[in-house]
Structure 1
Amino acid sequence: MVALSLLSVSSCDNIYDDLSEIPSNNDKENCYTNVDATSYTTWVYLNFADGSQTSLPYDNTADIPADWTIALHRYDIKTNSGSAFRTGYTSLDEVKTAAKTGTFPMPDASEFTRDEPSKITIDMSHMMDGYIDYADANINNVIGKWLNVDTSSMPPDYAMDSNVYLVRTKSDNVYAIRFTGYSNPYQSNTKGYISFEYDRIK
């Protein structure tokens, strides 16, 4: 069960002429739109360097690509031996400009947070019976705050953080990321489709 795609379709703002063509994956440079992270049993590995994505079962570690930047499991996010930082900016262009002009000094590596051991949900089918199945996983708790899902009432309340995040890779490159969506407007707003724009700033 391995799916690899490298697509170029339309724009980054979810506005399309033909609504029968549901946008997905990396639809233009520095932008992923409606990445299908709906499965609780799958990690989607994204490589910012070439815009590719690979979907694998959560317990398949043998086929993980050598090069990937972040991976999505529903709204959970992990890095490839990297770390994350939440900026005070809400515009990707502002971060890019500030980084170039030096008005936004790059945070020290010690200010970035690495992935930590945690649990991910892999089976919700027994929720009405009072239990949920989990699996061990490393996730990043800083960039993982991009979406808050409040389940204290039904249906859950979703609140997306507008701030730009930084991801420092294991090779010391830094990408700025701003999330733009968590559902697919072309599939009745089905939750678990992740959209974001990104750019390398270091």
Structure 2
Amino acid sequence: MNIRTFCHAMWASLVGICAIGLTSCTGIFDDIYDQPQNELTPAKGQLIVDATSWANWYYIDLKHLQQLTEAGDDEALLKAQTEHEAWPIPMTLTGEGDGHSGQYLYWFDVLGEGIDHNEFRSYTPCDAQPEPAEWTFAVHRNNVRTNGGAVLKTQYTSMDQLPQSSEAFKNETFVEDEWSEKEVWDNQDQMLLGLVPSQGININTVLSSWLEFKFNIPPDYIPDSHVFILRLKDGTYAALQLADYLSPAGKKCWLTINYKYPY
């Protein structure tokens, strides 16, 4: 039996077991989609975001962080670097829908060609994603979106390697957020059957590439340590880099982000 056949047999066995009693499989992905248990202390110019939740977005306001830095309010700055309010993904429609916000259910061919081979199954309209009045970018697990910004991936793997000024990137091609209806996975209840609902929302595919999800057996994440340049909607620039996606205990999607703003 070759490795591909063996892996498919293992996956099929899990699907068969959970098809008999799916609720008994609660926690089967706990080592993949787990909750953090340890705390980290950010360095200067760092953020730590517990983005392990399937259900929430977390918003970062770089301008607020800069204001706290300039004010010398270390206590408030530390709180802003590490404590981030959860903004739940809407799962219901409470008013008039906009025609595209909602839950998109796709089937992914995990036993065959992989998750790149998928089929649309259903759409459930929901409220649009709520957001704070001021924010720069937001994270949901391995997904990132911006507040009207655009992103460029650089060749650099250290903040120290960056050119002195963002002027060096002004003629480069930046990528704005794009509509997605099968990237922001927000429920794993039917994952063993290949069925995963996703939030329909704009995300930035370039910045999201700093943590690529691979549905292998077992599933895994592939981090990208390159520095990304974010052009904010007001024309200012920031440099961002994913320094780590693990807690000290190895919990995934606990993001340590290096940032430089303004750049």
TM range (shorter): 0.7 to 0.9
Report the AA paired with residue 22 of structure 1. E
Aligned twin of 1:48: 62
- Could you tell me which residue of structure 1 aligns to residue 119 of structure 2? none
Query: Per-residue displacement from partner, 1:3-60 (whole Å, max 9, x unpaired)?
Result: xxxxxxxxxxxxxxxxx97126xx3542112x11111110000111223333201227
The Cα shift of 1:66 comes to 1.5
Matched residue of 2:169: which SS? Answer: coil
Task: Normalising by structure 1, report the TM-score.
Answer: 0.77
Q: Secondary structure at the match of 1:50?
A: helix
Q: Which amino acid aligns with 1:23?
A: L
Structure 2 residue 260 is matched with structure 1 residue 199: yes
Q: Which residue of 2 aligns with 1:147?
A: 211
Asked if the contact 1:99/1:106 (under 8 Å) is kept, the reply is no
**Equivalent residue, structure 2, for 1:80:** 147
Q: Equivalent residues in 2 for 1:6-25 (5 A)?
A: 22-23=39-40
Task: Output the amino acid matched with 1:79.
Answer: T
Flag the structure with higher strand content.
1
Q: Which residue of 1 aligns with 2:164?
A: 99
Instruction: Look up the equivalent residue of 1:50 and give its one-letter code.
Output: H
Q: Identity rate of aligned residues, in percent? A: 28
Q: Could you tell me the TM-score, scaled by structure 2's length?
A: 0.60
Alignment partner of 1:118 out of 180, 183, 196: 180
How far residue 61 of structure 1 moved from its aligned partner, in angstroms, is: 5.3
Q: Which range moved further: 157-166 or 66-75?
A: 157-166
Number of the residue aligned with 1:12: none
Q: 1:21 to 1:163 in 2, by over 3 A?
A: closer
Runs of 4+ that moved beyond 4 A: 60-63
Question: Any idea what SS the aligned residue of 1:93 has?
Answer: helix
Q: 3-state SS of the aligned residue for 1:143?
A: helix
Do 1:30 and 1:48's aligned partners in 2 also have CA atoms closer than 8 Å?
no
Tell me if structure 1 keeps the 8 A contact 2:226–2:241.
yes
* Number of residue equivalences: 172
- Residue number among 227, 230, 239 corresponding to 1:176 in the alignment: 239
- Alignment-derived partner of residue 51 in structure 2: 37
Please list every run of 5 or more consecutive structure 2 residues that lacks an aligned counterpart in the other structure: 1-36, 66-79, 91-126
Which has more radius of gyration?
Answer: 2
Q: Give the Å deviation of 1:147.
A: 1.5
Between the aligned partners of 2:129 and 2:216, the Cα distance in structure 1 is 38
Q: Could you report, residue by residue, the CA deviation over 1:158-180 in whole angstroms, capped at 9, with x for unpaired residues? A: 22112100111111111011111
* Offset, 1:157: 3.1
Deviations 1:119-145 (A, max 9, x none): 211101111233111120110011111
Tell me, what secondary structure is at the counterpart of 2:161?
helix
Identify, as 1 or 2, the structure richer in helix. 2
Change (3 A) 1:63 1:117: closer
* Aligned CA distance change for structure 1 residues 29 and 66 (closer, same or farther; 3 Å): farther
